[in-house]
Structure 1
Amino acid sequence: MRMGVCAAVLLLAHATSASAAPGGPVVNAPVGLVEGQVVGDLAVFKGIPYAQPPVGPLRWKPPVPVPSWTGVRPAHDFGAACVQPPPRPGSLYADPPAKMGEDCLSLKVWAPKAAKRAPVLVWIHGGALVGGASSEGLYDGTRLAEHGVIVVSINYRLGVLGYLAHPDLSAESPDGVSGNYGLLDQIEALRWVQRNIGAFGGDPANVTVAGESAGALSVMYLMASPPARDLFAKAIAQSAYMISTPTLKEARYGEQSAEENGRRLAAAVGAADVAALRGMDAEALTVAAVKAGYGPWGNIDGHVLTGQLVDVFDQGRQAPVPLLVGFNSGEIRSLRFLAPPPPTDAATYETAIRHQYGDLADAYLALYPASDMGESILANTRDALYAWTSERLAIKQTALGQPAFLYLFDHGYPEADAKGLHGFHASEIPYVFGTAHGTPPYWPKVADAPAEARFSDAMMDYWTSFARTGTPSAAGQPAWQPYDGAAAYMHFAATPQPETHLMPGMYALHEATVCRRHAAGTLPWNWNTGIMSPVLPAKTAGCP
């Protein structure tokens, strides 16, 4: 008989299996006995499978739950990262996994040894839906778990293996859909948490789903996805981007259908059919897909995703949960490939903006003037992707009657600032996780200084208290007010400072831009902004 779902199931003295190390914690979970390791006051379990390996005939199929096992399963080592291309040489985000493969659907749990109905934070890594892994040092959950929460980090299928749609794959599906496999993996991991986390001392009714960049895009997908409903109680989205999303079978908003993208990819790699695609080596296919220009995105299939994110959130069809959301002041300083080079002179810049933005050009140039084109281009690209999305999410959750807590991460430190990377994309992560020691090789190193440690402690307090209660708070730090009618936000600069009315005029401009593109039905909204923008449609009914 299984034991109860509380901390008492942690058998910290001796495991009964010969495979268990002396003193290793053993959890009797519904899925089976799992043996971890003691790390200070934590019990840590690595590489627990939550779904069967998506290989062979299971490639491009929804995840199949892992069956329960007999005996004690050691959980001492990270599972393989999901298949991904090599990182760009010299990238400050480059942190190649020690091992990778298609058998990658695993998760890791950091649990306080005394946990009993503790809040649970499920982390979804970033990496443009192409790369990344839960094993990265940035995402080590030790420090967060020491704040009394259980941290779960997950792997999910990436790139062409995670998001390929194709007419033949849709024909195989009982729902007539394809793609979204990486998102379905995330949903299956959340179901695993619901079934099993109580055995680790967690509260399945108090799960927060959290992620950064592509992980935050995934959080929005999960908030919008009917199959994910009721699998989490709160959400955290760090540097999310509410871009236009391909439709499974139709060309919409200037994008080919997801199935057509898949058909073109198959032709580009010389695969006559899905059977040929399944016969290709996973790593070779992944690299070939990148070279062919294939981009992995969720797709609107009417089942997993039922509408454009802007529509779902406008219509109040997203998960009605408390939300913590924000972005970084220097997002594009480390993502300059998303922004065009400045024109040769200010007059050319202003002429382009007036041509492309029409009656919105004065508002645009007031925010992003020609007098400093380089900074204006970085700021506009940041705002069109990340700042607008963050404030929009805060506004829409507030409209649902849910508390939303908005932030701007504007914290710099000497090595980053010296390299022109103040507040760069993802630079909040080592502060949120307390992992300044675990940054990738080319990452600007965080100073080992008391002020930096205090700042990180404050962010960990805010994040873990939000996971616990739905309200972020930190010992000795100012109260973080919900966005609400006052448009409140927390400005994480040298220290946390509460402020109101983030970047006046920014949200209105980008909301009008997206609204007009959406109304036209032929234009995407993503990084084609500023001097790269198409000519915007004229003002129409329902759009500013």
Structure 2
Amino acid sequence: MRRALSAGLLAAAATACSTSTVERTQVIDAVTEYGVVHGHPSDGARAWFAIPYAAAPVDDLRWEPPQHPQAWTGALNADQPGQPCAQPGYEEDGAFKVLGFEDCLTLNVYAPAETADKPLPVMVWIHGGGNYAGSAAEYDGSRLAAAQDVIVVTVNYRLGPFGWFHHEAMTTADDGSARTGQFALLDLIASLEWVEANIGAFGGDADNVTIFGESAGAQNVYALVLAKRAAGLFDKAIAESGGFWNMSLPQARNLTTETPPGTRASANEIIVDLLIQDGRADSRADATALIETMSQDDLLDWMRGLDTESILRPYADQHDLGYDLPSVVQDGVLLPKTDHRAHIASGDYNQVPMLIGSNRNEQKLWQAFDPSFVDWSSGAPDILDRNRYTAVDQHYSNLWTFDAVDDLAPRLDAPVFAYRFDWDEQPSQPVDWPFLMGSSHGLEIPFVFGTFEASGIEDIFNDDNEAGRLTLSDAMMSYWGAFAHTGDPGAGADSGLTDWPSWQTSQSKLIFDTGPLSIERVPDESREQLLDAALGDTRLTDADRCLILHHNSLYPSLDIKRLAEAGCEPAWAGE
């Protein structure tokens, strides 16, 4: 469920939010604690790009908490978005390559074109991408900032093994005490500390900060809500299609053959691959034996000596990386060691108002470009089994909604406002996009940012649906803006929309779709009922049922007993 927005048509949806190419001639100065930053006009707003908020996490700073950046002399000409953080990528012929760089800890700031009379609310965007892919540069905050009188900040943070590595060599301090391997969350906390200290120079109010993110970005929003170290750095939180896909420490660290088993992308599994790849072991057995003989200092020194491509290469062949990558972990250091859902229910979290939601057809993003579901060989999609296609989306998406909203909202003490995004007004000819894609994962992002222009998605966003989607986008931006200003979306920024009731008063969610907005009460269903419905659905293959069960009983520790009872094995069994 934490997979990247990277496949087919909806990959371009992220690009729809990418920084627009505009003439940038006017220089606008902001004075930060590290130096002067030159900004430029950007699509009706002002923007400052690629501002360092932390030092480059390279060499001896790889797998270290973020450090303060060096001050600069003169002025930083912030006219181009920063490079993405290092992540696995592919050439057109399928060959592996590295995208981005490890030196990537920068952020972008967007402000309305005119300076306001008083400091404006701040919205800090945390991008998605499975916590192993994505970039702040893919999202243009210009229109949201201009339309809602807010300051929008988009942040890069370390990804994959550079942002999340939970081996003892990285999580043991010099004095032997435990420390976190969640370097990406430390990056996000550092970015919020930068906002607290510097956003006033851009017209922002450091005492009115909303964090918001989508998919893995929303997972990280939930993690920051839990992290005591982030207390006081934000005042509100928005989570779009997120969830508590958080692992136990053994699952993030152990081999798949240990008890309890780790995932295929656990720290020790990756180290096994790296030892073989580096020629230090000839086989898995040799590598696991060598790990036992290496001191933590030796292992860390060896891994710091590997280049970026070598470290990322073992991840390139992970076909289920979005599920298997250990990112947010119950480590007992940065985050509670107890189950995070139970911890939220105890009230021991950063209690701020929250706006949370999901999309009706989350799963269709991946199904549409999966050859086991759709044959694109003729250039047009041929859905192999429409009943199976519908069933797989139904069960995955219902469980996603349960994790993102229905199970979480009742546990929150602070005000929470829930939604579901249902827009599927795509053309049905010559491709039946409403059936193929529907309201899939990530499709709400262009509506929130107000940016639909991008090459490759004209088939979905066209003249026929322009009026309705622009009206819906205006409404969503208005609600998001009102929430950022006050902590209550109410009837939107101009008070002219449907009044959005809190979960506490209604146990319902607002449905975003073309036409009048509606309120829908949430059905009383449990996780067990949803899993039982999937296991009993005759439209699914046995492999479908087992994979749904595997993916939805993976966190915080794989439910081996439940899998066995259903006649299933872990997805990596026999590999």
Evaluate the alpha carbon distance shift between residue 237 and residue 301 of structure 1 in structure 2; reply closer, same or farther with a 3 A threshold.
same
Taking a change above 3 Å as real, the CA distance of residues 265 and 193 of structure 1, as seen in their structure-2 partners, is: farther
Alpha-carbon distance between aligned partners in 1 of 2:184 and 2:503, rounded to the nearest angstrom: 31
Describe the shift of the 1:232–1:511 C-alpha distance in structure 2 as closer, same or farther (beyond 3 A): farther
Code of the aligned partner of 1:477 = L
Summarize the Cα distance change of 1:510–1:316 in structure 2 as closer, same or farther, 3 Å threshold.
farther
Contact 1:388 1:511 in 2 (8 A): no
1:318 corresponds in structure 2 to 349
Q: Which residue of 1 aligns with 2:166?
A: 165
Contact residue 111 and residue 202 of structure 2 kept, 8 A: yes
Task: Determine the C-alpha separation between the residues in 2 that align with 1:292 and 1:375.
Answer: 26
Residue 452 (structure 1) aligns with: 469
1:329–1:239 CA distance, 2 compared to 1 (3 A): same
Contact kept, 8 Å, 1:36 with 1:74, in 2: the verdict is yes
The one-letter amino acid of 1:406's match is: A
Give, in angstroms, the shift of residue 340 of structure 1: 12
Match of 2:316 in 1: 290
Structure 2 counterpart of 1:151: 152
Gap change, CA 1:109 and 1:382, over 3 Å in 2: same
- Give the CA deviation at 1:302: 1.6
Give the gaps of 5 or more residues in structure 2: 1-23, 281-298, 374-385, 534-552, 568-575
The 8 Å contact of residues 51 and 108 in structure 2, kept in 1 or not, is answered as yes
Listed one character per residue, the Cα deviations across residues 103-153 of structure 1 (whole Å, up to 9, x for unaligned) are 1000000012313310000001100011110111xx210110012000000
Residue of structure 2 equivalent to 1:34: 37
Q: 2:190 aligns with which of 174, 188, 191?
A: 188
- C-alpha separation between the residues in 2 aligned to 1:25 and 1:423? 39
3-state DSSP class of the match of 2:499? Answer: coil
**SS of 1:335 mapped into structure 2:** helix
- 1:337 offset after TM fit, Å? 9.5
State the number of aligned residues. Answer: 469
Shift of 1:334: 1.1
1:386 maps to what in 2? 401
TM-score under structure 1 length normalisation: 0.78
CA drift of 1:338 comes to 12
CA distance in 2, matches of 1:528, 1:231: 33
- 8 A Cα contact 2:246 2:328, kept in partner: no
CA offsets 1:393-442 (integer angstroms, 9 cap, x no match): 32222xx1x211100100012248823111010000001101101x4736
Matches within 5 A, 1:96-135: 100-112=100-112, 113-115=114-116, 116-135=118-137
Q: Compared with structure 1, are the counterparts of its residues 239 and 173 closer, same or farther at alpha carbon in structure 2 (3 Å cutoff)?
A: farther
What residue is the counterpart of 2:306 in the other structure?
280
Letter aligned with residue 195 of structure 2: V
**Shift in Å at residue 210 of structure 1?**
0.5
Q: How does the TM-score come out when normalised to structure 2?
A: 0.74
Q: 1:408 aligns with which of 413, 420, 425?
A: 420
* SS of equivalent to 1:331: coil
Question: Which consecutive segments of 4 or more residues in structure 1 shift more than 6 A?
Answer: 88-91, 249-253, 337-342, 526-529
Instruction: Provide the residue aligned with 2:69 in structure 1.
Output: 66
Matched, 1:198 2:200: yes
Q: Which residues in structure 2 correspond to 1:484-499 (within 5 Å)?
A: 484-495=504-515, 497-499=517-519
CA 1:124–1:40 in structure 2 vs 1: closer, same or farther (change >3 Å)? closer
1:359-401 per-position Cα deviation (integer Å, ceiling 9, x unaligned): xxxxxxxxxxxx955423321111223333312232222xx1x
Corresponding residue SS for 2:476: helix
Match of 2:439?
423
User: Partners of 1:170 and 1:432 in 2: how far apart?
Assistant: 37
Tell me the alpha carbon deviations over residues 480-528 of structure 1, each in whole angstroms, 9 at most, x when there is no partner: 1111142121011223523232244366735999xxxxxxxxx634898
Question: Cα distance 1:467–1:536, how it changes in 2: closer, same or farther (>3 A)?
Answer: farther
Cα deviation for residue 244 of structure 1 reads: 4.1
CA distance in 1 between partners of 2:214 and 2:91 (Å):
19
Counterpart in 1 of 2:285?
Answer: none
CA distance in 2 between partners of 1:54 and 1:315 (Å): 36
Report deviation, 1:197.
0.5
Paired residues of 2:111 and 2:203 also in contact (CA < 8 A): yes
Residue 81 (structure 1) aligns with: 84
Q: Secondary structure at the match of 2:517?
A: strand
Q: CA RMSD, aligned part only?
A: 3.5
Aligned pair partner of 1:48 in 42, 46, 51 = 51
| 1:483 equivalenced with 2:487 (yes/no) | no
Question: Residues 435 and 337 of structure 1: is their aligned pair in 2 closer, same or farther, counting only changes over 3 Å?
Answer: closer
Equivalent in the alignment of 2:366:
335
Provide the C-alpha distance between the structure 2 equivalents of 1:266 and 1:130, rounded to a whole number of angstroms.
18
In structure 1, the gaps of 5 or more residues are: 1-20, 343-370, 514-522, 538-544
| 1:75-114 superposed Cα distances (whole Å, 9 cap, x missing partner) | 11111110111169799xxxx99x7211100000001231
Cα distance in structure 2, aligned partners of 1:43 and 1:381 = 40
Matches within 5 A, 1:338-357: none
Deviations 1:8-32 (A, max 9, x none): xxxxxxxxxxxxx974110122232
- Give the Å deviation of 1:261: 4.4
- Residue in structure 2 matched with residue 463 of structure 1 by the alignment: 480
